[in-house]
Chains A and B, each alone.
Chain A
């Protein structure tokens, strides 16, 4: 029987929410890694039992956690469990070691980016914001990190190598952090073309590689951001999130700091599709699993007031690929709601009907099992939700 598993990262641990295909009755497991910030938890589409989690702490740094049994148990990849391993397996590989590539082979060993005061600042690893498992191999996984860079593991997260062509392609010294840090938060793999990867960075913009990560180019033409000196600059845009429908990977939808954007040519050109949204500020955006012109956003009042307009939590849906939006509020708080919905905290399942999920900084995770028509909370009192992903289990 089909079912879903919702993977929730919060400020104080990870949770796994499970239900059958009706999505009415939920089992809540967790907290896993209680007390730690879990920035992202994501499962492999190749092996749904394989899940990667980013466990991080201002005190203790970064850890990588992996589950091979659908989230029941977890391990640090490469770290032996139980008995001390044979000497040839020692020392264990440092699964939480993310070292920027400054080797001469990259051609452009890059060591600084722009700091808040305009000076150049060394790249410093802080945390993993986002994991994207490979669509073909469960042991291959990409990590988007802060300070912004893309790393890849081909051994199940035991060791990591930077795809340094991204930082080294030329615009890196001009990148600068947004208020949340200079994070690479979005990684999208093209299901039909393993050499094509999209990534997004706050506040540098969106980038694409067509050769598996060796070379990259900014894809920000058409973005307009009033908060940077040249609103039409090649980089410097605060992209909050990008989403695609896997059946149509050349069509991208973006929630920028302000503005909801669309590209029909793999990011080469963007146009605004904010249309009749009550505000086009927000963080999340996602695409219906079966209808590639149906998209979802959660409008947030402004960059100064990170909560819904008038305390009314609403999802907005467009069935026309943008511009024409309808308000979806059945089952959501109609007043006194002042939460935020962070950039990685929305997901869709691929059941029929498509389920839509999002989590809030107030600790609620909402589900709609009817494409957004009605909503109900799965949980209401978790720690602040940082990320929501869903696995559809056949």
Chain B
């Protein structure tokens, strides 16, 4: 997992995140939350901030040992699937500027 670099307030961005139902319940939050994340804003840094603010979510989105996204979760934003982009790729400008949320989605399964 990456460490958030020291930053000034100018380096920080307010990122909107939508969690899946079960993680919302676990964290005790509503459909969307906002997190302060230091630039450059990547999924890894966003998850660091998320897990710091909501430690009950540790291990539920990415694997402890590898830091990899859990297999049945996806990251969507701006109508794009970012799940395969890697944890350290910068998020789209619309997410960084707070115009769009990052959606953390549970894969559809069951019957």
Contacts and interface: CB of A to CB of B under 8 A. Distances in A.
A323 interface: no
Nearest to A76: B56
B40 interface: no
A94 B22 contact: no
The size class of the interface chain A forms with chain B is 10 to 19
Given A59-B22, A59-B73, A91 B60 contact: no
B5 to A, nearest CB: 17
A92 interface: yes
A59 B64 contact: no
A58 B64 contact: no
A35 B59 contact: no
Interface string B31-66: 000000000000000000000100110111101110
A58 B71 CA distance: 9
Nearest to B28: A81
A62 B55 CA distance: 14
B72 A96 contact: no
Nearest to B64: A97
A194 interface: no
Nearest to B63: A61
A368 B95 CA distance: 59
B106 interface: yes
B20 to A, nearest CB: 8
Contact of A57 (B22, B55, B65): B22
- Tell me the dominant secondary structure on chain B's binding face: loop
Contact of B70 (A36, A60, A91, A96): A60
Given A97-B64, A99-B64, A59 B70 contact: yes
B10 interface: no
A80 B106 contact: no
A63 interface: yes
A79 interface: yes
A97 B22 contact: no
Contacts of B26: 63
A96 B58 contact: yes
Contact of B59 (A80, A91, A94): A94
A79 B59 contact: no
A183 B23 CA distance: 26
Contacts of A80: 55
Contacts of B72: 58-59
Given A57-B22, A94-B64, A62 B56 contact: no
Interface string A39-72: 0000000000000000001111111000000000
B67 to A, nearest CB: 13
Contacts of B52: 91
A38 to B, nearest CB: 13
A80 B57 CA distance: 12
Interface in B66-96: 70, 72-73
Given A36-B22, A97-B64, A99-B64, A58 B109 contact: yes
A91 B106 CA distance: 26
Contacts of A61: 59-60, 63, 70
Given A58-B109, A79-B55, A92-B55, A63 B22 contact: no
A99 B64 CA distance: 9
Residue among B22, B61, B70 facing the most chain A CB atoms (10 A cut-off): B22
Interface string B91-111: 000000000000000110100
Nearest to A80: B55
Interface string A7-36: 000000000000000000000000000011
Contacts of B21: 35
B55 A96 contact: no
Contacts of B55: 79-80, 91-92
Nearest to B58: A94
Interface of B: 20-23, 26, 52, 55-56, 58-61, 63-65, 70, 72-73, 106-107, 109
Given A59-B20, A63-B56, A91-B52, 14 more contacts: A35-B22, A36-B22, A59-B73, A59-B107, A60-B22, A60-B61, A61-B70, A63-B26, A76-B56, A79-B55, A80-B55, A92-B58, A96-B58, A99-B64
19 contacts: A35-B21, A36-B22, A58-B72, A59-B20, A59-B106, A60-B22, A60-B23, A60-B106, A61-B70, A63-B26, A63-B56, A63-B59, A79-B56, A79-B58, A80-B55, A94-B58, A94-B59, A97-B58, A99-B64
